[in-house]
Amino acid sequence: MTYKTHIAFAGAISLYPLHQLQLHHYITPAQLPTLLGALALGAVMPDIDHTRSYISNKVPILPYIFAFYTKHRGFTHSLFGLAVVALLLFAIHRFKGVQTATLAAFWFGYLLHIAGDALTLSGIKNFCCDRALYLFPRFLRFRTGSFGELVYFFLFSAAAGYEYLLFFDPTHMPDITRHLHTAIDFFNSLL
């Protein structure tokens, strides 16, 4: 799955829970851009094990190290990888003081990346204990970069856009560049 479809999928799944969290005052409208930025960043991060992915183009060297040690959709796309990321995020919270909500959004985005790849024909080959992970029956799966993926991309984007307009006050609607800057700032704060 390409990074755009991953972000659209993460948005389509997460906007309703975010709306509920905001409704019950667990998060504030002011937090929303940071949470969406962290979610989007988490949703592209697992492909750091692929030297030609979107996230790999943003981070030098690291993808080559990953690609050397693990195969694509290996460690970073596994239950073990999810647990390691959770531990790393906990350490970031402890030592860098990043808010739990932001880190939870990142982790949820990461989880949704794995779920997204599990919708594709190749699925996640080694998710846990030598078992593959597929979320759809075979006839609903698609090949990465195919026309089928484009259809899913439009469906996820339409759902995410609709939820955004429905659930969030347009006066608080942050524009996309602000989201990206927040994601980049968040990323820089970790380095």
What is the residue-wise DSSP string for 158-177? HHHHHHHHHHS-GGG---HH
In the complex, what is the shortest distance from the CB of residue 137 to Zn ion, in angstroms, rounded to a whole number? Answer: 21
Helix (H) or strand (E) holding 75: none
Binding residues among 97-126 for Zn ion as defined by CB under 5 A: 117
Does 47 bind Zn ion (CB under 5 A)? Our answer is yes
For residue 5, the minimal CB distance to Zn ion (Å) is 10
User: Which one, 36 or 118, has the nearer CB to Zn ion?
Assistant: 118
Number of residues that bind Zn ion (CB under 5 A): 3
At its nearest, how many Å lie between Zn ion and the CB of residue 36?
20
Nearer Cβ to Zn ion (79/101): 79
Min. distance of Cβ 73 from Zn ion in angstroms? 6
Q: Are strands 131-133 and 124-128 parallel, antiparallel or unpaired?
A: antiparallel
CA end-to-end span of the chain: 27
Q: Which of 2, 182, 3 is nearest to 102 (CA)?
A: 182
Q: Check residue 149 for interaction with Zn ion (CB under 5 A).
A: no
Supply the minimum distance, in Å, between the C-beta of residue 111 and Zn ion: 12
| 130-169: b (≥16 Cβ within 10 Å) or e | eeebbeeeeeebbeeeeebbeebbeebbebbeebbeeebe
CB of 27 or CB of 85, closer to Zn ion: 85
Q: Which is nearer to Zn ion, 47 or 163 (CB)?
A: 47
Binding site for Zn ion (CB under 5 A): 46-47, 117
